[in-house]
Amino acid sequence: MLFVTLRDDPADAEIPSHKLLLRAGYIRRIGSGVYAYLPLMWRVLQKVSQIVRQEMNAAGGQECLLPQLQPADLWKESGRWDTYTKAEGIMFALKDRRDQEQALGPTHEEVITAIARDMIRSYRQLPQLLYQIQTKFRDEIRPRFGLMRGREFIMKDAYSFNIDEESLEKSYQDMHTAYCNILRRSGLAFRAVQADSGAIGGSASQEFMVLAEAGEDEVLYTEDGQYAANVEKAVSLPPEVEPSPFTSYEKRETPESQTIEKLCQFLKCSPTQVVKNVLYQTIFDNGTTVLVLVSIRGDQEVNEVKLQNELTKLAPKYGAKTVIKVAVPDAEDLKKLAVESLPLGYIAPDIAISIRDRDSDTTTATIDTIPDSVTRSVFDSNENPHKSAKDVAPRFLCLVDKTAVDLKNFVTGANESGYHVVGANWGEQFQLPELAVDVRKAKLGDRAIHNPEQTLQSARGIEVGHIFQLGIKYSIAMGATYTNEQGEEKPLFMGCYGVGVSRLAQAAVEQSYDQDGIIWPVAIAPYHAIVTIPNINDTQQVEIAEKLYAQLNQAGVETLLDDRNERAGVKFKDADLIGIPYRIVTGRAIANGKVEVVERKSRKSHEIAIAEVVSTLKQWMNEAMS
Ligand code: ATP
Ligand code: MG
């Protein structure tokens, strides 16, 4: 066996599971986000795949294998070519020798919809559920943590086709059940949570989170089990507003008060009485840059995923299809947009108007291009180095978060460095932005909407699965229809369902290890048992070990034999490191017709009669996997 373990932690691995998989010889890094699955890892991946396959088959799924090389035309039909190659830029795109654009599949909605369009004609053929287990390619911005976020990884993706919403909901529920079974059988502690639908589109979606400290996602949930959501999507009740101490409108000097905390200390007020105005810059896929001002209650933060979703909805008003980027502009961005003089930290909700007025000699408002329901002003500065390129003219878009709408006598910026105003009101000193949205970040300790007595708890999770109700988004875009019982042509309802097979395997390690190494759940361990010969020069030890090794494998207990010419201590260390659930040692006890059997997880050691090893292990395995 090609068996190489490392004593020390590899330098480039940050989280325990990544370090352990490298050290124990499961994976090798070949390039950024690209790994070789070595024989031990491949066995784990096949076990996970097998569990996934069984549960998908049990839910009526049909396994297939779709091409990884996908023609750009399909992605142009669905409207996702630009999003995936430019906006998110996550798709590897290439040109073939005929100069035709192609992509390496990051996901397969387009391919499967094209197939459904050709093959599904009638309601009699529905519902359908197809799935595949395959390598996906994604040019992730930050590939990291080994298999957790690779640029090439294994996914099970499934797609359902249904006649209507109701049937789709049924398929979605079936997948929910299948996913719970997959994770339970893989021996993982997990939670299903409400999720953001992101660029895939559609309505309902849930993520399956494996709970672990190193998880990239934050989950907010309530103890009563009634609510759990990814923080990107979570909603809650904000804390109550404290009554304002200010009764009349006034401009106040507030030196050194760029932050809410300092401001509140200085003015002796609560952050709930402040309207904070946060500046963002968004770039649409047609190149238009828009400055976005979000007015939100001072004690709250902006959820950038919710903000991006709101901005995506507005894209058509800017002649665009989607948002490429939302970010807080840095000094350089502000300079590029010729708004470097903004009084950062003292911005008022009507900044757009003031800036234009103040700089009116150098700006030209291009009013005719304003989508007027959403912008306050549009201007094109003469100082703008890109002034000939109209598409970079900054525009201000003012949004107000719902938390700031009902505030009375509030504090906010005065549009002048070192000054704020107090006792302000919407409709008096400031016009309330027309677009009131929920872009607020729910957080730990907030009251739950379904029951204000429940407060949100927080946990970290690794997203290993995601199920979506896509609805008719793709079937409309690509013309995938069927004929219903009444003879009418209707769009297919679709769902899509993904499991990160390689991510799940590593998540299992992240959830289960100790200072000596990996502790695999029995169901997905590469081998169930390892027979270790302490001294290979002792022929009796070798003989018994080889016999047990053969018997165990024959009985379906997948077993390794460590007959290397190494010290016993080295072999025990390696067995612990690679995390095989049961270690059988043909040591001193053989004098009494017994062997030592150690359970990796509990470290409990038992002396078991040689003749009973097979039956005992089979029993333990069954218990562990039930
Ligand atoms: P993430 O938010 O982590 O990037 P995603 O929302 O892009 O995930 P989906 O498109 O829903 O993921 O893909 C389905 C599943 O594939 C995910 O739940 C995850 O388990 C897995 N997955 C996605 N991206 C990667 C990756 N880069 N490396 C490994 N697994 C991944
Ligand atoms: Mg992703």
Domain assignment of residue 568, yes or no: yes
Whole-model pTM: value is 0.89
Distance (Å) from CA 507 to ligand 2 centroid: 16
Nearest-atom number in ligand 1 for the CA of 157 is: 14
Atom 15 of ligand 1 has which residue's CA nearest to it? 500
Strands 395-401 and 289-297: parallel
Q: Ligand 1 within 6 A of 153 CB?
A: yes
Domain assignment of residue 487, yes or no: yes
Is the domain of 56 the same as that of 132?
Answer: yes
Query: In this predicted structure, what is the pLDDT of residue 15?
Result: 96
Residue at a domain's end among 416, 437, 458:
437
Instruction: Give residue-wise pLDDT tens across range 226-269.
Output: 999 999 999 999 999 998 899 999 999 999 888 999 999 999 99
* Rounded Cα distance, 497 and 100, in Å: 30
Residue 314: pLDDT above 60? yes
Is the domain of 261 the same as that of 342?
Answer: yes
Is the domain of 62 the same as that of 181?
Answer: yes
Atom 26 of ligand 1 has which residue's CA nearest to it? 149
Domain assignment of residue 206, yes or no: no
Atom 4 of ligand 1 has which residue's CA nearest to it? 149
Q: What is the CATH number of the domain that holds 589?
A: 3.40.50.800
Average pLDDT, the chain: 91
Residue at a domain's end among 387, 410, 437:
437
Domain assignment of residue 210, yes or no: no
pLDDT (average), residues 431-438 = 92
Is the domain of 258 the same as that of 353?
Answer: yes
Nearest to 516, CA basis, from 588, 562, 574? 574
Residues 6 or more apart in contact with residue 489 via CB below 8 angstroms: 481, 482, 483
| Whether the Cβ atoms of residue 70 and residue 94 lie closer than 8 Å to each other | no
Domain assignment of residue 413, yes or no: yes
Is it true that the peptide bond before 127 is cis, omega within 30 degrees of 0?
yes
pLDDT category of residue 411 using cuts at 50, 70 and 90: very high
Distance (Å) from CA 97 to ligand 2 centroid: 30
Distance (Å) from CA 500 to ligand 1 centroid: 6
Token pair in block for residue 238: 């904000």
Query: What ligand has the least distance to the C-alpha of 507?
Result: 1
Nearest-atom number in ligand 1 for the CA of 207 is: 18
Q: Ligand 1 within 6 A of 109 CB?
A: no
Distance (Å) from CA 286 to ligand 2 centroid: 23
Q: Ligand 1 within 6 A of 500 CB?
A: yes
Is the domain of 108 the same as that of 178?
Answer: yes
Q: What is the CATH number of the domain that holds 273?
A: 3.90.960.10
Is the domain of 287 the same as that of 354?
Answer: yes
pLDDT category of residue 369 using cuts at 50, 70 and 90: very low
Token pair in block for residue 548: 């047990």
Indicate the number of domains in the chain.
3
| Whether the Cβ atoms of residue 498 and residue 109 lie closer than 8 Å to each other | no
Residue 482: pLDDT above 80? yes
Domain assignment of residue 295, yes or no: yes
Q: Ligand 1 within 6 A of 155 CB?
A: yes
Residue 390: pLDDT above 50? no
**99 alpha carbon, distance to own chain's centre:** 34
Distance (Å) from CA 18 to ligand 1 centroid: 17
Is the domain of 261 the same as that of 292?
Answer: yes
Q: Ligand 1 within 6 A of 466 CB?
A: yes
Distance (Å) from CA 108 to ligand 1 centroid: 13
* Amino acid type, 343: P
pLDDT category of residue 324 using cuts at 50, 70 and 90: confident
* Rounded Cα distance, 610 and 32, in Å: 48
Residue at a domain's end among 437, 461, 481:
437
Query: What ligand has the least distance to the C-alpha of 207?
Result: 1
Nearest to 45, CA basis, from 559, 505, 540? 505
Q: 10 Å Cβ neighbour count for 500?
A: 26
pLDDT (average), residues 125-146 = 97
Dihedrals φ, ψ of 463, to 5°?
Answer: -75, 110
Give the domain range for residue 293.
250-437
- Ligand 1 pocket test: which of 136, 190, 466, 499 has the largest number of ligand atoms within 8 Å of its C-beta? 466
pLDDT (average), residues 491-497 = 98
* Rounded Cα distance, 317 and 311, in Å: 10
Query: What ligand has the least distance to the C-alpha of 88?
Result: 2
Instruction: Give residue-wise pLDDT tens across range 58-106.
Output: 999 999 999 999 999 999 999 999 889 987 789 999 999 999 999 999 9
Query: In this predicted structure, what is the pLDDT of residue 366?
Result: 31
Query: In this predicted structure, what is the pLDDT of residue 22?
Result: 97
Share of the chain above pLDDT 90, in %: 82
Q: Ligand 1 within 6 A of 503 CB?
A: yes
Is the domain of 101 the same as that of 131?
Answer: yes
Is the domain of 502 the same as that of 546?
Answer: no
- Ligand 1 pocket test: which of 49, 207, 219, 503 has the largest number of ligand atoms within 8 Å of its C-beta? 503
Atom 14 of ligand 1 has which residue's CA nearest to it? 498
Query: What ligand has the least distance to the C-alpha of 90?
Result: 2
Domain assignment of residue 229, yes or no: no
pLDDT category of residue 514 using cuts at 50, 70 and 90: very high
pLDDT category of residue 372 using cuts at 50, 70 and 90: very low
Instruction: Give residue-wise pLDDT tens across range 277-308.
Output: 999 999 988 888 899 999 999 999 999 999 99
Nearest to 477, CA basis, from 95, 68, 83? 83
* Rounded Cα distance, 334 and 558, in Å: 62
Is the domain of 137 the same as that of 277?
Answer: no
Q: Ligand 1 within 6 A of 517 CB?
A: no
Nearest to 27, CA basis, from 509, 561, 566, 581? 509
Q: Ligand 1 within 6 A of 140 CB?
A: yes
| Whether the Cβ atoms of residue 82 and residue 75 lie closer than 8 Å to each other | no
pLDDT (average), residues 427-445 = 94
Radius of gyration of the chain from its Cα atoms, rounded to whole angstroms: 30
**CA-to-CA dists, residue 380 to 318, 369, 395, 396, angstroms:** 16, 12, 9, 11
Distance (Å) from CA 239 to ligand 2 centroid: 32
pLDDT category of residue 201 using cuts at 50, 70 and 90: low
Nearest-atom number in ligand 1 for the CA of 149 is: 28
Q: What is the CATH number of the domain that holds 35?
A: 3.30.930.10
Residue 365: pLDDT above 70? no
Token pair in block for residue 105: 């599949």
Is the domain of 329 the same as that of 288?
Answer: yes
Query: In this predicted structure, what is the pLDDT of residue 394?
Result: 63
Dihedrals φ, ψ of 199, to 5°?
Answer: -75, -15
**Residue listed under structure tokens 């016993």:** 568
Residue 353: pLDDT above 80? no
Is the domain of 259 the same as that of 356?
Answer: yes
Domain assignment of residue 548, yes or no: yes
Residues 6 or more apart in contact with residue 420 via CB below 8 angstroms: 251, 252, 254, 257, 263, 267, 346, 411, 412, 413, 414
Helices (H), 294-401: 304-314, 331-336, 351-358
**CA-to-CA dists, residue 505 to 4, 52, 131, 500, angstroms:** 20, 12, 19, 9
